[in-house]
């Protein structure tokens, strides 16, 4: 079998990342330079600071990804890069780096949708894995839960997406981040809420579960507002915030809504597998909910591939490339770019 080596580049938000993946699955390297410490002081990602840091990090990160794969650009067949969605100034850094290398080496350039990348994280395995794990089978249902997006997609084959539902307001990760801020937990909110929740009682507060029955859509702003109301009331009464209980009760609600709706859709569309992807798929309670059921095979990436990385961009880029996609060198970034 011919090996197609893809160098993936990702810079859509606050991680600068590069990775070498063979044939869309076998990960030879995966390097991520995170900017978490830089943005901590602002309580969220500061776009201008993010793009400047990407400029500083991108070449060392790409070099390290090639080095760790024991390769140079001469061994690479395709350059895949995140085209969007994301922060314009951040995306441009990855895109221009990819274009420069593609032009300089005469390599094909493939622009990839970041959300699609998250979904393809489930195809990846580290090169040292003795036996490649089975690929997710089509048709499958993908729950995509990240900081900017929450959606359910029916995927009938490689690159064939049908969006069933989407959040009508906050993304799941955004809700974790906002609730963390409300109760005084540090950025990034998702991991902080998970940590606090582990010490709390998930039934301490009865928060609303917005099910939006009859649609596959989600809504998290009511849940977030309910947490805000409780926090305000406790503060007015000069009470100490039961941060762990608040975090645990919020997390239980969010996970329940995501899990229940996904399972319902999986049954309705009679899928062969469920894929859970995006930063929030790192959440332990969400992972346990899906791995604890036995109705459907479930694919959730390892923690290192849940949040933003470039291996997922290389993997999705491979499937586009073998499907005939090669983009021109004047390809522009798309800060807003729906998956389907």
What is the binding site for Zn ion (CB under 5 A)?
146, 308
Please identify, among the stretches 56-64, 65-73, 76-84, 187-195, the one whose residues bind ligand KG4 according to the rule CB under 6 A: 187-195
- The residue among 53 and 283 lying less far from ligand KG4, judged by its C-beta, is 283
Whole-angstrom distance, CA of residue 45 vs CA of residue 42: 7
Q: Shortest approach of ligand KG4 to residue 276 CB, angstroms?
A: 12
For residue 167, give the DSSP letter.
Answer: B
The token pair that represents 91 in the structure block: 């995306």
Whole-angstrom distance, CA of residue 73 vs CA of residue 108: 12
Helix (H) or strand (E) holding 93: helix 88-105
Please identify, among the stretches 120-128, 201-209, 265-273, 276-284, the one whose residues bind ligand KG4 according to the rule CB under 6 A: 276-284
> 158: closest CA among 178, 179, 137?
137
Phi/psi of residue 83, nearest 5 degrees: -95, -25
Q: How far is CA 209 from CA 50, 216, 226, 253, 288, in A?
A: 35, 14, 10, 6, 19
Is residue 89 near ligand KG4 by the rule CB under 6 A?
A: no
Q: Shortest approach of ligand KG4 to residue 40 CB, angstroms?
A: 13
Q: Shortest approach of ligand KG4 to residue 294 CB, angstroms?
A: 24
- Pick the binder of ligand KG4 from 177, 217, 226, 243 (CB under 6 A): 177
Is residue 279 near ligand KG4 by the rule CB under 6 A?
A: yes
Give, as ranges, the residues between 129 and 168 that touch ligand KG4 (CB under 6 A): 146-148
Please identify, among the stretches 62-70, 155-163, 185-193, 204-212, the one whose residues bind ligand KG4 according to the rule CB under 6 A: 185-193
Q: Determine how β-strand 298-299 pairs with β-strand 273-277.
A: parallel
- The residue among 19 and 283 lying less far from ligand KG4, judged by its C-beta, is 283
Q: Which option in ligand KG4, Zn ion, none does residue 189 bind, with CB closer than 5 to 8 A by kind?
A: ligand KG4
Q: For residue 80, what are the contacts with CB-CB under 8 A and spacing of at least 6?
A: 6, 7, 8, 9, 98, 110, 111, 112, 313, 314, 316, 317, 318, 320, 321
Whole-angstrom distance, CA of residue 76 vs CA of residue 224: 46
Q: Shortest approach of ligand KG4 to residue 69 CB, angstroms?
A: 23
Judge contact between 49 and 14, C-beta under 8 A. no
- The residue among 145 and 227 lying less far from Zn ion, judged by its C-beta, is 145
Q: How far is CA 17 from CA 13, 113, 187, 251, 328, in A?
A: 10, 15, 20, 29, 22
Is residue 191 near ligand KG4 by the rule CB under 6 A?
A: yes
Q: Shortest approach of Zn ion to residue 146 CB, angstroms?
A: 4
Determine the size of the site formed for ligand KG4 (CB under 6 A).
Answer: 20
Q: How far is CA 330 from CA 57, 110, 166, 286, 313, in A?
A: 23, 12, 31, 41, 19
Is residue 16 near ligand KG4 by the rule CB under 6 A?
A: no
Q: Which option in Zn ion, ligand KG4, none does residue 301 bind, with CB closer than 5 to 8 A by kind?
A: none
Q: Which option in ligand KG4, Zn ion, none does residue 166 bind, with CB closer than 5 to 8 A by kind?
A: none
Is residue 111 near ligand KG4 by the rule CB under 6 A?
A: no
Percentage helix, strand, coil for the chain under 3-state DSSP, each rounded to 5: 45, 20, 35
For residue 141, give the DSSP letter.
Answer: E
- The residue among 53 and 194 lying less far from ligand KG4, judged by its C-beta, is 194
Q: Which option in ligand KG4, Zn ion, none does residue 177 bind, with CB closer than 5 to 8 A by kind?
A: ligand KG4
- Pick the binder of ligand KG4 from 136, 188, 200, 242 (CB under 6 A): 188
Q: For residue 23, what are the contacts with CB-CB under 8 A and spacing of at least 6?
A: 1, 3, 4, 318
Q: Shortest approach of ligand KG4 to residue 68 CB, angstroms?
A: 21
Q: Shortest approach of Zn ion to residue 87 CB, angstroms?
A: 12
Phi/psi of residue 111, nearest 5 degrees: -85, 135
Which residues would be at the binding site for ligand KG4 (CB under 6 A)? Answer: 13, 146-148, 173-174, 176-177, 188-191, 194, 278-280, 282-283, 307-308
């Amino acid at each position: 079998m011919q090996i197609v080596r893809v160098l993936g580049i990702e810079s859509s938000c606050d991680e600068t990342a590069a990775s070498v993946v063979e044939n869309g699955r076998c990960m030879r390297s995966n390097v991520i330079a995170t900017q978490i410490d830089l943005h901590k002081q602002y309580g969220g990602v500061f776009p201008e600071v993010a793009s400047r840091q990407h400029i500083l990090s991108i070449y060392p990160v790409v070099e390290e990804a090639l080095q760790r794969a024991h390769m140079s650009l001469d061994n690479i067949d395709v350059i895949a890069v995140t085209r969007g969605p994301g922060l314009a100034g951040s995306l441009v850094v990855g895109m221009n780096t990819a274009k420069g290398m593609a032009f300089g080496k005469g390599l094909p350039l493939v622009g990839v949708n970041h959300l699609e990348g998250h979904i393809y994280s489930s195809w990846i395995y580290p090169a040292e894995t003795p036996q490649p794990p089975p690929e997710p089978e089509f048709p499958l249902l993908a729950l995509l839960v990240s900081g900017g997006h929450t959606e359910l997609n029916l995927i009938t084959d490689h690159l064939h997406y049908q969006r069933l539902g989407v959040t009508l307001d906050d993304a799941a990760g955004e809700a974790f981040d906002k609730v963390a801020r409300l109760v005084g937990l540090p950025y990034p909110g998702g991991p902080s809420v998970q940590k606090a929740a582990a010490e709390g009682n998930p039934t301490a507060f009865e928060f609303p579960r917005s099910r939006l029955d009859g649609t596959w859509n989600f809504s998290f702003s009511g849940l977030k507002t309910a947490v805000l109301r409780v926090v305000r009331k406790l503060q007015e009464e000069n009470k100490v915030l039961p941060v762990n209980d608040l975090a645990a009760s919020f997390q239980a609600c969010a996970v329940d809504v995501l899990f229940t709706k996904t399972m319902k859709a999986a049954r309705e569309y009679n899928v062969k597998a469920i894929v859970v992807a995006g930063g929030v798929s790192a959440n332990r309670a969400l992972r346990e909910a899906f791995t604890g059921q036995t109705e459907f095979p479930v694919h959730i990436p390892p923690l290192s591939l849940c949040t933003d990385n470039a291996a997922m961009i290389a993997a999705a880029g491979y499937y586009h490339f073998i499907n005939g996609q090669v983009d021109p060198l004047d390809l522009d970034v798309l800060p807003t770019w729906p998956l389907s």
